[in-house]
Structure 1
């Protein structure tokens, strides 16, 4: 089921996220977050933006949320979306279900544009964004450095209104 996040979910969410920090380049965090850091992040996001989880048999298998794209006030109607699926549960359409619900919720806000900011190459994430109507509007070359590799970032845009 898809439901709103609860603060009691923090440890399971952190476990999902830290797997990606340690093992992949899809996030540019270099060190695993502490539970307190993740709880602080969760608190900040949920004050103003949707944060949903996908749960099956009391196990969180994925999550999605939207947050500020940038802090300057002119960007207040532009959000950045995020989705993570537990690493051993790919191919079950969890990310798609989460994204469909997140976009539905964002359409009920005053948000005008949602951006997906993706490490490239990342075919699965690119396909997910394209499935929901995001268009690639930017490609930043070698702007991140992780695992002794320079990484590109793609920016994908979805206009909601």
Structure 2
């Protein structure tokens, strides 16, 4: 498995993983699948410090993650939010850990101070992954999302980098 910054050639693999979660899962609150044009635009918008990392076994994208601005106010600019997605066929193989490690390295290299994870639904695997990578639970947002006719909580976890 290779972990690297994502490029436009990874768009279809990322889109397939993401759209499965849109249509079948609760890791995202998105309700509309992305087109390939949407996915390419999303990748193009995430360059530099707000990067996308992929785990691949050429040519297959096993998982991906991204860093996004935490909030739009200037005082938040040293904090980012991470997102990690793994193809279900490759879960349990360390893909999520490799992706999150790559994101944390990228965040550190770009001088961010804190990383926040907002984990939706009952996703104990993601909570455990973040805990194993040094994140602490700092709160729970109760019933803030609704998907598949269910109210969903969001677990908020945080790691201070430096």
Unaligned runs of 5+ in 1: none
Aligned equivalent of 1:128 = 129
Aligned equivalent of 1:72 = 73
SS of 2:130 mapped into structure 1: helix
- Structure 1, 4-13 or 38-47: larger mean CA deviation: 38-47
Counterparts of 1:72-151 in structure 2, within 5 Å, are: 72-151=73-152
**TM-score computed with the length of structure 1 as normaliser:** 0.95
> What is the RMSD of the two structures over their aligned residues, measured on CA atoms?
1.1
**1:47: how far off?**
4.3
Q: Distance in 2 between matches of 1:71 and 1:38?
A: 22
Aligned equivalent of 1:22 = 23
Q: Do the aligned residues in 1 keep the contact of 2:4 with 2:102 (CA within 8 Å)?
A: no
SS of 1:30 mapped into structure 2: coil
Unaligned runs of 5+ in 2: none
Q: Do the aligned residues in 2 keep the contact of 1:19 with 1:87 (CA within 8 Å)?
A: no
- Structure 1, 27-36 or 40-49: larger mean CA deviation: 40-49
Q: Does residue 1:58 correspond to 2:56, yes or no?
A: no
Q: Distance in 2 between matches of 1:134 and 1:120?
A: 18
Aligned equivalent of 1:2 = 3
1:62-105: per-residue Cα shift (whole Å, max 9, x none)?
11121111111111011000111112111101001111122122
Q: Distance in 2 between matches of 1:39 and 1:70?
A: 23
Q: Distance in 2 between matches of 1:21 and 1:42?
A: 17
Q: Distance in 2 between matches of 1:160 and 1:46?
A: 20
Q: Do the aligned residues in 1 keep the contact of 2:142 with 2:153 (CA within 8 Å)?
A: yes
Q: Does residue 1:43 correspond to 2:44, yes or no?
A: yes
1:5-55: per-residue Cα shift (whole Å, max 9, x none)?
111111111011000000111110011111222222111112432221111
Would you say how many aligned residue pairs link Structure 1 and Structure 2? 161
SS of 1:118 mapped into structure 2: strand
- Structure 1, 34-43 or 60-69: larger mean CA deviation: 34-43
**TM-score computed with the length of structure 2 as normaliser:** 0.95
